[in-house]
């Protein structure tokens, strides 16, 4: 957690913001693990409340998704592509909504391009305003942005590769979470001398 907080402090925190706060969700309380894991850190870790029952898993997942989207929006410039599971949802009138021309360009390719350094720079250049938070992109300015578009076939192959990467990242996240869930039990056994 300390590693992640230092990373977030250095790379994501904006001037004037408070330091980031980490939240560790545990399945059980273990004072020895907490003591050895947290003692001596320059930033104190405090527990305001200990619950023996976690909130509903769907509620946690929804809150984590909401937080992830907020971070991605702040970091990546609020460029998104609606997915089939978004059918029936409503978007904000404050954001430009465009539809990719079928057979010419794939929306996921555009999203990927606009989230590269080059793409973000084009969007920033087309967005007037002095401070990053006050920049607005108009439809006319967006229509003047020139995107290097490869063939539709190449975009389709790229999209398939990107889906594989997304699946791999999901699997890695799941595996990391499973490992993180096992780690306290391993430490507990180590401190009790029960490891072989």
Structurally, the chain folds into a number of domains equal to 1
**Residue 16 is assigned to a structural domain of this protein:** yes
Average pLDDT of span 95-110: 83
Which tens digits make up the pLDDT trace of 12-66? 888 888 887 776 666 556 666 666 777 777 665 654 455 566 677 788 777 777 7
Window from 20-34, 79-93, 103-117 with minimum mean pLDDT: 20-34
Does any domain span residue 31?
yes
This prediction's pTM: 0.47
Within a domain: residue 98? no
Answer yes or no: is 5 within a domain: yes
Comparing CA positions, the residue from 112, 107, 140, 141 lying closest to residue 124 is 141
Sequence-distant (6+) residues with CB within 8 A of 78 are 95
- In sequence order, what are the residues at sequence separation of 6 or more whose Cβ sits closer than 8 angstroms to the Cβ of residue 4? 22
Q: Does residue 32 belong to any structural domain of this protein? A: yes
- For residue 48, being part of any structural domain is answered with yes
Residue 123 within any structural domain of the chain: no
Per the domain annotation, does 18 fall within a domain? yes
State which residues form the domain around 19.
Answer: 1-54
């Amino acid at each position: 957690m300390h590693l992640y907080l230092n990373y977030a402090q250095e790379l994501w925190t904006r001037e004037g913001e408070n330091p980031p706060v980490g939240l560790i969700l545990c399945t059980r309380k273990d004072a020895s693990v907490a003591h050895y894991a947290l003692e001596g850190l320059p930033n104190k870790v405090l527990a305001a409340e200990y619950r023996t029952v976690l909130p509903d898993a769907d509620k946690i997942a929804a809150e984590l998704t909401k937080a992830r989207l907020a971070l991605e929006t702040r970091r990546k410039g609020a460029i998104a592509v609606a997915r089939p599971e978004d059918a029936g949802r409503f978007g904000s009138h404050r954001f430009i909504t465009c539809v990719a021309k079928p057979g010419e360009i794939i929306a996921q390719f555009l999203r990927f391009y606009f989230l590269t350094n080059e793409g973000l720079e084009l969007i920033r250049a087309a967005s007037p305003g002095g401070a990053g938070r006050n920049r607005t992109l108009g439809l006319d300015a967006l229509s003047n942005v020139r995107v290097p578009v490869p063939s539709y076939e190449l975009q389709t192959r790229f999209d398939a590769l990107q889906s594989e990467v997304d699946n791999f990242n999901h699997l890695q996240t799941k595996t990391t979470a499973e490992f993180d869930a096992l780690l306290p039990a391993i430490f507990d056994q180590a401190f009790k001398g029960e490891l072989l």
